[in-house]
A and B are shown apart, each in its own frame.
Chain A
Amino acid sequence: MDVQMKRGLLEVCVLAAIRDSDSYGYRIIKDMKPYVDISESTLYPILRRLEAAGYLTVRTETHNGRVRKYYHILPLGVERIRQFREEWRELTAVYRFITRPPEPPGADPDEAASAGKGERNS
């Protein structure tokens, strides 16, 4: 996948992972795993970027005698998810255009047959 596109998608994924309840790094990775595989070192810059952009805040809590960072979504982050869903609607329209079946050509019976095949395949 295109790097820029994947980066943008992962950002929204991370926001979605903390949308319902605050979460910590390892749990975000685990929650996302069934859908998208993300490594620690990929997640870290994303979290920093989202924090800097005001999409989430970080708070520190003690857990089992050590410190753990919890990420909390901000209104701007919720807005980003909503925005993404709108963008996605536009994208699916573009996708439908890109993958539309080939137009039936004129009178040539051979080409009409192959066009029919293409339609069935898609």
Chain B
Amino acid sequence: MTKTVFMRNLSDRLVSVTPERISPSDAMRSLDYYEEMIDDRVEDGMSEEEAVAAVGHPDDVFRDILAALPSSPQPRTEPAHSSEAPSPEKKKSSPWRTALLIVTSPVWGTLLVAAALVLFSLYIVLFALVVSFWGVFASLAISGAVLIASSVPLFIGEGMPAAMASLGMGLAALGLAILFFFLCTAFTRFSARLTDVTFRGAVSLFRRKERRS
């Protein structure tokens, strides 16, 4: 199994759990942890397949994550209870619930739209941040390259001090660009995962609601 497949499998299992049991931030932390473990094993000389195998099967890892949650109820007993006792009650109340849903739709509908728009605007802000980070990286890299390149004509035209100054500034800019590159990749990864987890969390929320009503 490749790392990508493992991470996808694990995150699929994590988003299938209700956010009350495992919060998105907890889910993200555990995903980060296992990804770091695989990366470190690969860096230590293992192949990707070996590293993933050493970490364990996604099912086992998922079970361990759930078992380690503070005040988590026994994972096995919960579904059995919910299928026995409360389901007839829910069936009885379901026409009332749908009626109530329709009557109150002007209220929750607008709220839902507002919430979705807020979420969407947050994504735009996040995306803008990512783009601007990369913009800073690109401008540093380009200016560094140009400054280094211009040190040659400066040496011919103006002499040594101007050329050295240009070369120095160019190297400094390139150095900053390299630092920014790592910062950018880390931030891009982080925002991509955040988007993935929250989006799928939101989708799973709606799926459950449909099934219940």
The interface of chain A, by Cβ under 8 A from chain B, is: 24-27, 30, 39-42, 44-45, 48-49, 52, 62, 64-69
B residues 158-213 touching A (CB-CB < 8 Å): 181-183, 185-186, 189-190
Question: B183 near A64 (CB under 8 angstroms)?
Answer: no
User: What band does the interface of chain B fall in when counting residues whose beta carbon is under 8 Å from A?
Assistant: 20 to 34
Question: B44 near A26 (CB under 8 angstroms)?
Answer: yes
Residues of A within 8 A of B60 (CB): 41
**A44's closest neighbor in chain B, by CB?**
B33
Residues of A within 8 A of B67 (CB): 45
CB distance from A3 to the nearest CB of B (A): 12
Stretch at the interface among B35-43, B99-107, B117-125, B142-150: B35-43
Tell me what chain B mostly uses at the interface: helix, strand, loop, or mixed: helix
Question: B56 near A41 (CB under 8 angstroms)?
Answer: yes
Tell me what chain A mostly uses at the interface: helix, strand, loop, or mixed: helix
Question: A67 near B56 (CB under 8 angstroms)?
Answer: no
Question: B40 near A24 (CB under 8 angstroms)?
Answer: yes
**Given A39, A45, A67, which contacts B189 in the complex, CB threshold below 8 Å?**
A67
Q: Other CB < 8 Å A-B pairs besides A41-B56, A41-B65, A49-B68, 7 of them?
A: A26-B37, A27-B40, A40-B37, A40-B54, A52-B70, A66-B189, A69-B32
Question: A40 near B55 (CB under 8 angstroms)?
Answer: yes
Question: B36 near A68 (CB under 8 angstroms)?
Answer: yes
The interface of chain B, by Cβ under 8 A from chain A, is: 30, 32-34, 36-37, 39-41, 43-44, 54-56, 60-61, 64-65, 67-68, 70, 181-183, 185-186, 189-190
CB distance from B196 to the nearest CB of A (A): 16
Q: Give the complex CA separation of A54 and B43 in angstroms.
A: 31
Question: A69 near B40 (CB under 8 angstroms)?
Answer: no
Question: B33 near A25 (CB under 8 angstroms)?
Answer: yes
Q: Give the complex CA separation of A69 and B29 in angstroms.
A: 10
Q: Give the complex CA separation of A40 and B55 in angstroms.
A: 6
Question: B30 near A44 (CB under 8 angstroms)?
Answer: yes
CB distance from A28 to the nearest CB of B (A): 11
Q: Give the complex CA separation of A66 and B36 in angstroms.
A: 8
Residues of A within 8 A of B65 (CB): 41, 44
**Given A25, A49, A67, which contacts B37 in the complex, CB threshold below 8 Å?**
A25
CB distance from A6 to the nearest CB of B (A): 15
Q: Give the complex CA separation of A41 and B181 in angstroms.
A: 32
Question: A44 near B186 (CB under 8 angstroms)?
Answer: no
Question: B68 near A69 (CB under 8 angstroms)?
Answer: no
Question: B64 near A44 (CB under 8 angstroms)?
Answer: yes
Question: A40 near B34 (CB under 8 angstroms)?
Answer: yes
Q: Give the complex CA separation of A41 and B67 in angstroms.
A: 10
Q: Give the complex CA separation of A40 and B53 in angstroms.
A: 12
**Given B40, B70, B190, which contacts A25 in the complex, CB threshold below 8 Å?**
B40
